[in-house]
Amino acid sequence: MRKLGQGGMGHVFQVRNRSTSKIYAIKLLEKRMNQVDALEKRFLREAQLAKRDIHEAIVRSYDFGVADGISYIVYEYVEGHTLEEIIVKRRPLSVDKTLDYLLQLAQALAALHKEGIVHRDIKPSNIIIDEHEKLRLLDLGIARYLESGHSITETGMIIGTPHFLAPELISGKKVLPSADIFAVGALGIDCLSASSPFGDWQGMVVNKLNERAAGLGRLAIPPICSGELAELLRRATSFDPHLRFQDGQALLQALQNVHSPNGSALNTEDGLTKSAVSPLPALPATKERRPSKKAPYVIFLFILVLLLHFNPFTASLDTTVQALQVIEGVDFVEVRWTSKEPY
């Protein structure tokens, strides 16, 4: 057994079945989290969603339950690298490669949206690219059902990665599939940018989120990107959700009509990406992550947000930050909002 990763709610390990020798990934909810009813329900909902055979690009779960007071989910194990690792070590990716990834992601989202589910946490670290260059989508932990109005998070709680959050997610408005489309557009811009298109948000997370909620600071299209793809990314990352592609199927159709630099359109056959893009060479071994030196700044930011929240001059705002928690070592931010608009 070896550790694969760690998140805000628990840990993920690679395990081997003693009887079959088959390898799986098992996600364990931290024992202290089991005492929080909302988090335990969210974990259970993730397991139930992942067990459904929605699309081959969505990593499936095989089993879930509780053992010795610890909740767990058994997932299929996918050998590969996260898209985050690939972007960091190879940015900017080529237009052909980016188109290939976006097309595969759109196929998965089209299937998810058809089932009435919004993922709400599309980001490079939730995507694995396997050895065959196939994209696999992870983490349905904060997904939302559309028709029932049921959310895996509590009412009024917004969870996600700040760089990829759509403005309506930040301001607590109704969540639709177009929120996922914004994240896909932001992901595409990240792939094609020579450096992070989001800049340094350290110490400015609240300000940046408020700017985006107010429709400010839109994402710039990288110089490497032009023509049809540039226009597609502009539309996908529009701060007005009504101007975006409305779901994964609409985005998929638009991507299929985008011509790559070699002059041909990327097509699909039987739901799979048909691409002449050559596989990327193997990534060098990833070094073990050392403890962050930014922890004191994170603590200061958290205290500052709490002080701002209890300031009587900010209490009258329709949408106010109640709490901010940045978990170091994980690309994750949790923001609680109050809003007059229904969630």
Characterize the bridge pairing of strands 135-137 and 117-118. Answer: unpaired
* Token reading at 3: 């550790």
Cα 76 to Cα 78: distance, rounded to the nearest angstrom: 6
Active site (annotated) includes residue 190: no
Check the CA dihedral 31-72-60-88 and report its sign. Answer: positive
Using DSSP's 3-state secondary structure scheme, residue 118 falls into strand
| C-alpha span between 65 and 87 (Å, rounded) | 35
Residue type, 106: A
Contact call for residues 177 and 109 (beta carbons, < 8 A): yes
Catalytic pick among 53, 63, 68, 121: 121
Asked whether the beta carbons of 255 and 103 are under 8 A apart, the reply is yes
Q: Which of 219, 109, 114 is nearest to 163 (CA)?
A: 219
What is the token pair recorded at 182? 């914004």
Residue 263 one-letter amino acid = G
- Annotated catalytic residues are 121
